[in-house]
Chains A and B, each alone.
Chain A
Amino acid sequence: MTEDHIDGNAAGGALRDIFTVDLTAAVGRCSSCSQSLALAEARLYTQAPGLVARCPGCEEVVFRLVRGPGRAWLDMRGVTCVQFELPTGS
């Protein structure tokens, strides 16, 4: 068992820098193993350029986020059908 990861929860701030809603509680489906997961449950690796989140079930990448000056690259190829809780009144 490696211990070099933390939770997707820690990417919440970087994602909220881009999205107007919380993504940590958003539930998506891993496109590799079809497991449903809240993005907070992904394994987050921060020792890469940017943030890499992997499925806790099959270890495939679910999303990658890289920040540059005034710019962000987000690759969500590993997660499909993301379901968000929208604030009341939406």
Chain B
Amino acid sequence: MARATVLGRLTWRVATVAAVRDETQNARTIVLDLPDWPGHLAGQHVDVRLTAPDGYSTERSYSIASAPEGNRLELTVDLLPDGEVSPYLARVLSAGDPLEIRGPIGGWFVWRPERPEPVQLIAGGSGVVPLMAMIRTREAGGARAPFRLLYSTRGPEAAFYRDELRRSSENGSGLSVTYAYTREVPQDWERPPGRVDAGLLAQAAWAPEREPISFVCGPTGFVENVADLLVSAGHDPARIRTERFGPSGGQP
């Protein structure tokens, strides 16, 4: 559990890369050690700042993928080919390197383990990252709220955390996972490739009568489409929380 809210301004601090591991062909997880990390809530993000030798600096927000665990923090970064920051994080950065971080940030798009109501997670592409932090936090704390994840990716190869999600959904803890593939589907897959639509939502998501809280994260167009579908299906807009990653499906 995160320690109490930290008071005072947030300032930049230097993390050390403990390890990196590939998630997909284009995405990898960066494990960071941060002395005096105050803990975080599932769904929060950090800002990462890169500074060039000539002094030019730029910053981006990245969702935290891990459950709170001491001074360890994991980010999963998706490579955007014309990005300014992600190519360095996803290709160059390696164990032992320093990385400037500001965080944890955000009190809105967060899930707290003491919440009892069912949770509907809906991810588009790398939007699964903060939702994974919620799944991991739930599992780490033995929380009881039933979770459903609807995860839309281009195809099976593009999905993050596939093995872990399979294990977590098979261990009887009350997590169910449904994949929606937009471009390529595995053999014998019932549903043709396509976007999340009202039919799939009706099949895979909690019914509005269960009064779930929904967290939707992904590219801007995906998030707005899914939020509209949820409202049309009868979900209370006040129980839908969204986080948009921008038009390209990630933070550059």
Establish whether residues B9 and A3, one from each chain, have CB atoms under 8 Å apart when the complex forms. no
Over the window 60-75 of chain A, the binary record of Cβ atoms lying under 8 Å from chain B Cβ atoms (1 yes, 0 no) is 0000000000000000
Establish whether residues B106 and A5, one from each chain, have CB atoms under 8 Å apart when the complex forms. no
Establish whether residues B107 and A25, one from each chain, have CB atoms under 8 Å apart when the complex forms. yes
* Residue B113 CB within 8 A of the other chain: no
Q: Cα distance A5–B221 when bound, in Å?
A: 10
Q: Cα distance A89–B221 when bound, in Å?
A: 41
**Partner-binding segment picked from B75-83, B86-94, B238-246:** B238-246
A6 contact from B9, B105, B220, Cβ within 8 A:
B220
* Residue A82 CB within 8 A of the other chain: no
Q: Cα distance A89–B4 when bound, in Å?
A: 10
Establish whether residues B102 and A17, one from each chain, have CB atoms under 8 Å apart when the complex forms. yes
* Residue B232 CB within 8 A of the other chain: no
* Residue B247 CB within 8 A of the other chain: yes
Interface size on B, residues (CB 8 A): 30
Once A5-B220, A7-B244 are accepted as A-B contacts, the answer to whether A20 and B7 lie under 8 Å apart by CB is yes
Q: Cα distance A16–B220 when bound, in Å?
A: 24
CB-CB under 8 A from B108, the residues of chain A are 9, 24-25, 38-41
- Closest chain A residue to B225 by CB distance? A1
Establish whether residues B9 and A19, one from each chain, have CB atoms under 8 Å apart when the complex forms. yes
Residue of B5, B107, B251 contacting most chain A CB atoms (<10 Å)? B107
A88 contact from B4, B47, B59, Cβ within 8 A:
B4
Establish whether residues B47 and A7, one from each chain, have CB atoms under 8 Å apart when the complex forms. no
B4 contact from A9, A21, A87, Cβ within 8 A:
A87
Q: Cα distance A81–B11 when bound, in Å?
A: 27
CB-CB under 8 A from B125, the residues of chain A are none
Establish whether residues B8 and A20, one from each chain, have CB atoms under 8 Å apart when the complex forms. yes
Over the window 210-252 of chain B, the binary record of Cβ atoms lying under 8 Å from chain A Cβ atoms (1 yes, 0 no) is 0000000001110010000000000000000011111100010
Establish whether residues B5 and A22, one from each chain, have CB atoms under 8 Å apart when the complex forms. yes
Establish whether residues B45 and A9, one from each chain, have CB atoms under 8 Å apart when the complex forms. yes
Chain A contacts with B in 4-51, Cβ cutoff 8 A: 4-7, 9-10, 12-14, 16-22, 24-25, 38-41
Establish whether residues A3 and B61, one from each chain, have CB atoms under 8 Å apart when the complex forms. no
CB-CB under 8 A from A17, the residues of chain B are 9-11, 102
CB-CB under 8 A from B111, the residues of chain A are none
Closest CB pairs A-B (n = 3): A40-B108, A25-B107, A87-B5
B-contacting residues of A (Cβ < 8 Å)? 1, 3-7, 9-10, 12-14, 16-22, 24-25, 38-41, 85, 87-89
List 26 contacting pairs A-B, 8 Å CB cutoff, sorted by A: A3-B246, A4-B220, A5-B244, A6-B246, A9-B109, A10-B61, A12-B45, A12-B105, A13-B46, A13-B59, A13-B61, A16-B9, A19-B9, A20-B9, A22-B5, A24-B105, A24-B106, A24-B108, A24-B109, A25-B106, A40-B107, A40-B108, A40-B243, A87-B4, A87-B5, A88-B4
